[in-house]
Structure 1
């Protein structure tokens, strides 16, 4: 869901024979997360 929204980029691969998944925030994801945190702070009254 977050990948489809463009907030997260997922890279899949292997380390040896073991599968691995590496998630990373995109610029849009970082901006959305920052805005979300600011909204939560506003709701909490900057506690």
Structure 2
């Protein structure tokens, strides 16, 4: 049986933010950001 470690970025507070703009696209036409979380499952 292989063991693993699972990490939930939202619960472990492993997050980063990023901003972007997409010219001539109304929904993303102004600078705005998003927050992302890292999720991983490591087998070994």
State which structure, 1 or 2, has the greater radius of gyration over its C-alpha atoms. Answer: 2
Give the TM-score normalised by structure 1: 0.32
> Could you say which structure has the greater relative contact order, defined with CA pairs below 8 angstroms and 6 or more residues apart?
2
Structure with the largest fraction of helix: 1
Give the TM-score normalised by structure 2: 0.33
Structure with the largest fraction of strand: 2
